[in-house]
């Protein structure tokens, strides 16, 4: 594909952002609060809109229920619309309730399963009110010890629960089922792999698809093979992109292994699955525990864009000819030639052509960083801002309760710090501040 054709495909690319990437997050050891983090879903959308403003390819934001519960979803949808972004997938949450200790959709007690199913009814209702077409379900159920529960009975209960959830969907809805090989349980997860996810999808029907989270595999797994196989049978519903070095690290996609990301995008391009007609949703599922969050998301989006552009550059005719001729090095070389191309000038050109803000982001000056340091970790910081509404992001273990709470600041000070974070804002019709310009971050260009 030549440069112009690559740019034209890239213009249509969409990468969905997770609302939880903008809240505080951390590990079981520590959550580092950041000043000015969003206090509610409206502020998360304002932050996400910044990412779209600078990249032009991130017009959708996934919500997580109950973290992103609001009284008026029509108002939130309008607000997103005002900002030029849309509501994407609705994620359910089956991992934060005491009753789910032994499972949710697989729990031996029917009443617990019913509660978990009812939660999905709420999510489907949110989909109807927001116009979202995707219900994303990650099942955190599993067991820690052999013999703890009957593995097969758990699958049967799961199949039954999923059927009830599937029956809630409208015809335009999709159920996206995510797998994960370990955590929070460490003997057997109930949907540990793509095979299990796919079997449940096939049993459910055409509206059920598999979610491939790149961080949810054993080290060394050939993820592009899984992507290819799911594409082959038309059941790859979505990616949750992130990077991992050891476990489910949720690092910036393409940071640990950019070549893997390229190999995945190669399968996507080869299957002609980049456009909306394929209905493969390219989502991020990450946390930015130590780096600034908006620039972290921008970096992530650009990493996906770069990998996509390189995959588009592959000389497919030369590749096919080499493969047919058994030319091992020639075929591998066709991939490597594309991968080793510096694509950044082309992407910078594309952004200019799209009229995107070419502001060069600079790292935050140390002084500002210092001034912005929140009094986190203290009991005071846990009190939260005035709009605090509990957990909104990912944290692990004992840090989790603190994972999401904004540092304790008076509302005026918090507002000021948000404005510093986003640049000077002005009021939108919903009364929430809309940011203009970002004050800190990394270079957007080369
Ligand atoms: C947990 O591992 C997880 O990362 C799943 O991938 C979900 O997609 C996400 O959290 C949000 O629930
Ligand atoms: Mn995920």
Q: What pLDDT, in 10s, does the model give residues 225-237?
A: 999 999 999 999 9
What is the model's pTM?
0.87
Q: How many Å lie between the centroid of ligand 2 and the Cα of residue 187? A: 20
Tell me if 68 CB under 6 Å of ligand 1. Answer: no
- The lowest-confidence range among 54-63, 116-125, 323-332, 427-436 is 427-436
List of residues 6+ apart from 434 with CB closer than 8 A: 46, 49, 82, 83, 425, 426, 427, 428
- In this prediction, residue 405 has a pLDDT band, given cuts at 50, 70 and 90, of very low
- Split at pLDDT 50, 70, 90, the class of 383 is very low
The reported pLDDT for the residue numbered 386 is 26
Mean pLDDT of the chain: 87
Q: Is 178 in the pocket of ligand 1 (CB under 6 A)?
A: yes
Two tokens at 290?
């130590």
Ligand 1 atom nearest residue 18's Cα: 11
Ligand 1 atom nearest the C-alpha of 248 is 2
Q: What is the pLDDT of residue 358?
A: 58
Closest ligand 1 atom to residue 213 Cα is 6
Taking the C-alpha atoms of residue 353 and residue 242, their distance in angstroms, rounded to an integer, is 28
CA of 153 to the centre of ligand 1 (A): 24
Assess whether the C-beta atom of 306 lies below 6 angstroms from ligand 1: no
Q: 26: pLDDT confidence band, cut at 50, 70 and 90?
A: very high
Which atom of ligand 1 is least distant from the CA of 211? 8
pLDDT at residue 410, rounded to an integer:
65
Measuring CA to CA, how many Å separate 139 from each of 103, 126, 177, 217, 434?
9, 19, 8, 15, 35
In 3-state terms, what secondary structure has residue 417? helix
Q: What length does the chain have?
A: 446
Read off the pLDDT of residues 145-155 as tens digits, 9 standing for 90 and up: 999 999 999 99
Mean pLDDT to the nearest integer, 232-253: 97
For the cut 60, the answer to whether the pLDDT of residue 258 exceeds it is yes
Measure 177 CA to ligand 1 centroid, in angstroms: 11
Q: Mean pLDDT, to the nearest integer, of 135-156?
A: 98
pLDDT for the residue numbered 204: 99
- pLDDT over threshold 90, residue 427: no
Q: CA angle 57-60-65, nearest 5°? A: 150
CA of 243 to the centre of ligand 2 (A): 11
Work out the percent of the chain whose per-residue pLDDT is above 70. Answer: 83
DSSP track, 19-42 = GGGGS--B-SS-B---TT--SSHH
Shortest-distance ligand to the CA of residue 213? 2
Please state which of the ranges 19-28, 100-109, 417-426, 433-442 shows the lowest mean pLDDT: 433-442
pLDDT tens column, 297-306: 999 999 999 9
Backbone CA torsion sign across 146, 147, 148, 152: positive
Is it the case that residue 397 has pLDDT exceeding 80?
no
Segment 22-35 mean pLDDT = 94
pLDDT 10s digits, 106-128 = 999 999 999 999 999 999 999 99
Our answer on whether the CB atom of 224 is closer than 6 Å to any ligand 1 atom is no
User: Counting atoms of ligand 1 from 1, which one is nearest the CA of 394?
Assistant: 10
What would the pLDDT profile of 51-88 be if each residue is shown by its tens digit? Answer: 999 999 999 999 999 999 999 999 999 999 999 999 99
| Distance from Cα 178 to the centre of ligand 2, integer Å | 7
| Residues, CB-to-ion distance under 5 Å, ligand 2 | 213, 240, 285
164-220 pLDDT, tens digit each: 999 999 999 999 999 999 999 999 999 999 999 999 999 999 999 999 999 999 999
Give CA–CA dist 86/68, Å, rounded.
Answer: 14
Ligand 1 pocket residue status of 361, Cβ below 6 Å: no
pLDDT value for 429: 41
394 alpha carbon, closest ligand:
1
Q: What percent of the chain has pLDDT over 90?
A: 79
Output the pLDDT for position 227: 98
């Amino acid at each position: 594909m030549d440069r112009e054709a690559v740019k034209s495909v890239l213009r249509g690319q969409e990468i969905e952002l997770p609302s939880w990437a903008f809240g505080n997050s951390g590990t079981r050891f520590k959550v580092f609060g950041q000043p000015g983090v969003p206090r509610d879903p409206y502020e998360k959308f304002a932050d996400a809109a910044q990412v779209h403003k600078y990249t032009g390819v991130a017009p959708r934001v996934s919500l997580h229920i109950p973290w992103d519960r609001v009284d008026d979803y029509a108002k939130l949808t309008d607000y997103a619309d005002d900002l030029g972004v849309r509501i994407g997938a609705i994620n359910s949450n089956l991992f934060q309730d005491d009753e789910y200790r032994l499972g949710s959709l697989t729990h031996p007690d029917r009443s617990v399963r019913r509660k978990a199913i009812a939660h999905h009814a709420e999510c489907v209702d949110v989909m109807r009110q927001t116009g979202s077409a995707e219900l994303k379900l990650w099942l955190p159920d599993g067991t820690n010890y052999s013999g703890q529960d009957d593995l097969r009975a758990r699958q049967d209960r799961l199949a039954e629960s999923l059927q009830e959830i599937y029956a809630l969907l409208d015809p335009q809805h999709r159920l996206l089922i995510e797998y994960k090989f370990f955590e929070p349980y460490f003997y057997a997860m109930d949907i540990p792999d793509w095979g299990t996810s796919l079997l449940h999808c096939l049993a459910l029907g055409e509206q059920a698809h598999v979610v491939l989270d790149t961080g949810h595999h054993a080290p060394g797994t050939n993820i592009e093979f899984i992507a290819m196989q799911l594409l082959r049978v038309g059941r790859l519903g979505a990616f949750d992109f992130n990077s991992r070095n050891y476990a489910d690290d949720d690092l910036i996609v393409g940071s640990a292994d950019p070549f893997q990301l390229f190999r995945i995008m190669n399968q996507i391009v080869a299957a002609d699955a980049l456009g909306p007609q394929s209905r493969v949703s390219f989502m991020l599922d990450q946390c930015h525990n130590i780096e600034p969050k908006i620039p972290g998301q921008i970096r992530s989006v650009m990493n996906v864009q770069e990998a996509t552009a390189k995959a588009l550059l592959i000389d497919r005719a030369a590749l096919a000819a080499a493969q047919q001729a058994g030319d091992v090095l020639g075929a591998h070389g066709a991939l490597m030639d594309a991968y080793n191309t510096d694509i950044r000038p082309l992407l910078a050109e594309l952004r200019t052509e799209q009229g995107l803000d070419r502001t060069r982001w600079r790292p935050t000056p140390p002084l500002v960083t210092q001034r912005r340091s929140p009094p986190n970790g203290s009991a005071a910081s846990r009190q939260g801002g005035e709009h605090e509404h509990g957990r909104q992001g990912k944290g692990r273990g004992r840090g989790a309760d603190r994972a999401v709470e904004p540092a304790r600041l008076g509302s005026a000070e918090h507002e000021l710090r948000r404005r510093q974070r986003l640049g000077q804002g002005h009021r939108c019709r919903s009364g929430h501040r809309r940011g203009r310009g970002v004050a800190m971050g990394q270079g957007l260009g080369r």
